[in-house]
Structure 1
Amino acid sequence: MFRIVYFSPQIPPNTGNAIRIAANTGCELHLVEPLGFTMTDAQVRRAGLDYHEMANVTVHPNLATAWEKLAPTRVFAFTAHATRFHTDVAYEPDDVLLFGPEPTGLPDEVLTDSHVTDQLRIPMLEGRRSMNLANATSVALYEAWRQHGFEGAV
């Protein structure tokens, strides 16, 4: 299944919601430190409800360690500055969907990391800065999963 990576997430409820997304889709969720909260933060736990035990979540001390663990073949970095849409990709199992923190997004050194295969964006109306992180994750992930016939879903 697909792998979600949050680089330095800062807003606890978004990560809690991502835990629910990961649990409901069977995806792995990888968090790259520094985090703007602790995993025991009440807001993370509340947003994730009872899904924490059903989700595969790993916290990495830095991006290099995450790459070592993931050994990705393809990494798609999501940024509002990309020219290709998230729907322009034929996703493959084990693809990594990489998202940055709100409100700044992925820094340039991550966007240009040698592991990044392509930069993608989710369409929005002109003049809008970004989507909520958990919502953007859902939009991208469900497109990838849809392309694979929602494998494993009931």
Structure 2
Amino acid sequence: MILALYCPDIAQNAGTCLRTGACLGAEVHIIEPAGFPVGAAGFRRAGMDYIDAIAWQRHASFAAFDAMRRAQGRRLVLFTTTGAVPLTAFRFRPGDALLFGRESAGVPPQVHDAVDARVKIPMRPGLRSLNVAVAAGIALAEALRQTDGFGGA
């Protein structure tokens, strides 16, 4: 299972996702350009000492990331507030790539078109969205629970 961040805007959120990936045993992939220098102090501070315990990769573009995940046979699951399937009804598979959009704008239409599934995390009506790091933690935990994947990537 991998956690992928599309052009993240906030270093602390990316660092928190790295920490989550380290603790839950999932790789984290950062699709650039990011809104901060990847590896910067804020990024490392949020990841704390966990950054050395995580397998993570940078990709120069969505096209590069998409080519990698296709070559590995990974299904791409986008988490979006406009998702067609609620998290509670979606069935994950081992090896899925869970994709989260940038904090300021989500993902562009061409990324929406490239995914295999669009999933939403149910929320109370009238509220816009969860923090991306919180949403990633919820989604990754559920995906690993369903696939008996805790403790390994």
Give the unaligned 5+ runs of structure 2.
none
Q: What is the aligned partner in structure 1 of residue 4 from structure 2?
A: 5
How far apart are the structure 2 equivalents of 1:68 and 1:83? 24
Equivalent residues in 2 for 1:1-154 (5 A)?
2-71=1-70, 72-113=73-114, 116-152=115-151
Instruction: Render the CA deviation track for 1:20-46: whole Å, top value 9, x for unaligned.
Output: 011111111111111011123211111
Q: Which one-letter code corresponds to 2:69 in the other structure? A: L
Instruction: Render the CA deviation track for 1:129-150: whole Å, top value 9, x for unaligned.
Output: 1110000000100001111335
Against the structure 1 CA distance between its residues 94 and 150, is the aligned structure 2 distance closer, same or farther, given a 3 Å change threshold? Answer: closer
Instruction: Render the CA deviation track for 1:89-140: whole Å, top value 9, x for unaligned.
Output: 2211110101100122122221112xx1111100111111111000000010
Instruction: Render the CA deviation track for 1:49-91: whole Å, top value 9, x for unaligned.
Output: 0011111110000111112222243111111011311121221
Instruction: Report how many residues are paired.
Output: 150
Give the unaligned 5+ runs of structure 1.
none
How far apart are the structure 2 equivalents of 1:66 and 1:23? 20
Report the secondary structure of 2:64's partner residue: helix
Report the secondary structure of 1:109's partner residue: helix
Report the secondary structure of 1:29's partner residue: strand
User: What's the % identity of the aligned pairs?
Assistant: 35
TM, length-normalised to structure 2: 0.92
Measured on the aligned residues, the alpha-carbon RMSD in Å equals: 1.4
How far apart are the structure 2 equivalents of 1:11 and 1:127? 24
Report the secondary structure of 1:106's partner residue: coil
Report the secondary structure of 1:90's partner residue: coil
